[in-house]
Amino acid sequence: MAAEIHSRPQTSRPVLLNKIEGHSDSVNAAVLIPKEDGVITVSEDRTIRVWLKRDSGQYWPSIYHTVSSPCSCMSYHHDSRRIFIGQDNGAVVVTHQNRVSDMVFSLESEWVVSTGHDKSVSWMCTQSGSMLGRHYFTSWASCLQYDHETQHAFIGDYSGQITLLKLERQTYSTITTLKGHEGSIGALWWDPVQRLLFSGASDHSVIMWDIGGRKGRTLLLQGHHERVQAVRYLQLTRQLVSCSADGGITVWNMDTPREEAPQWLDSDSCQKCEQPFFWNIKQMWDTKTLGLRQHHCRKCGKAVCGKCSSKRSTYPIMGFEFPVRVCDACFDTIKEEDRTPLATFHEGKHNIAHMDMDPSRGLMVTCGSDRIVKIWDMTQVVGCSLATGFSPR
């Protein structure tokens, strides 16, 4: 695989190449057509459109198809020229009882795996048209990734959990459940090479789960002000691109040593000054003092009072790109070079509900509830131009 790696000056930004308008409602998914100047979109306005670039430089719909209910998601396989559409009424190749939230087509197994607001994940055979299996959750299943080689499915849900299933014909097994987010899962991305799973959620954070390491290692990344709704890992350059509902586009440098954020410790009193917290009635009575509110230092994880954690600092090596609470002792240990950002931040200037990338051309497409589709040149931002094709899922 040939590649040209460019330097990434801090002033580099995504370059808006084209803006596609024409949908009358939210655009729920948009994918770039590999090796062509084209984009496929599906929308709440019940249309599926294939936009091709004309000589004028503008994109016009060469295919325009209307279906029976709003289109919620899609899976496009370029080599086989097949596209699968999920709809608001649960229609996909296999029927859900409610809106289809995400779907993946696997050419290797000839399966379509889909999740829905009926709190289920289902998989079916596209050759026979038969349902192979279904698993139910306790909350809406919101997003999905699938490993074609191992037949493992990662399903995020509205409770903030990610469930790992091993899918078989007519059966399945639950491998594990990943818990770390404090809000509903909005996006997943699986990298089968390094066996890393990335998740974005409504708690404004991204988590990297080291599935291949088998040691439970997780990295917390906080660099958004709104719900994270799209993530994509670029394996060649070791960069992660994440997008949020407010239009924020963050590019994370994952090719650098990072530390896991500590678990928050439990205590009935400040672990620095030993003053009681407000629920520690006995110590409050014994010392004749008022109880204090509990906080936590993001660097050491200790339970501290407000007086002992009056400072704020970024700490990018732990994923804290914005200032967070740290205890006074930890603040004194953070050097200026420790505050050097490990991510760059950009503004898409529209709601981003879905994102797709073509690393071979350094292109990204975003879409959302504002009914606008934007095509971006990301070459100088991600610093990579691959001399190979790429097929989105």
* CATH classification code of 281-339: 3.30.40.10
Q: Do strands 141-147 and 239-244 pair parallel, antiparallel, or not at all (unpaired)?
A: unpaired
Q: Please tell me the predicted confidence (pLDDT) of residue 90.
A: 55
| Residue showing tokens 């040593």 | 257
Query: 64, 42 in Cβ contact below 8 A?
Result: no
What's the maximum distance between 2 C-alpha atoms anywhere in the chain? 82
What does the alpha-carbon distance between residue 161 and residue 76 come to, in Å, rounded to a whole number? 26
Closest CA to 158 of 208, 218, 116: 116
Closest CA to 252 of 220, 289, 284: 220
Whole-model pTM: value is: 0.89
Q: Please tell me the predicted confidence (pLDDT) of residue 204.
A: 97
Q: Please tell me the predicted confidence (pLDDT) of residue 316.
A: 97
Give residue limits of the domains in the chain: 15-260+341-381, 281-339
Query: 231, 352 in Cβ contact below 8 A?
Result: no
For the record, the structure tokens of 203 come out as: 């708690």
Spelled out in words, what is the top-level CATH class assigned to the domain 15-260+341-381? mainly beta
Closest CA to 22 of 381, 387, 367, 305: 367
Q: Do 15-260+341-381 and 281-339 share a fold?
A: no
For the record, the structure tokens of 281 come out as: 């009635």
**Three-class secondary structure of residue 161 per DSSP:** strand
CA atoms within 13 A on the CB side of 270: 21
For the record, the structure tokens of 100 come out as: 């289809």
What does the alpha-carbon distance between residue 141 and residue 9 come to, in Å, rounded to a whole number? 39
Per run of 10 residues, the mean pLDDT along the chain (length 393 residues) is: 36 89 96 94 96 93 91 88 80 70 92 93 89 93 95 96 94 94 96 96 97 83 97 95 97 94 92 87 81 91 94 96 96 95 96 95 96 95 52 38
What does the alpha-carbon distance between residue 97 and residue 209 come to, in Å, rounded to a whole number? 31
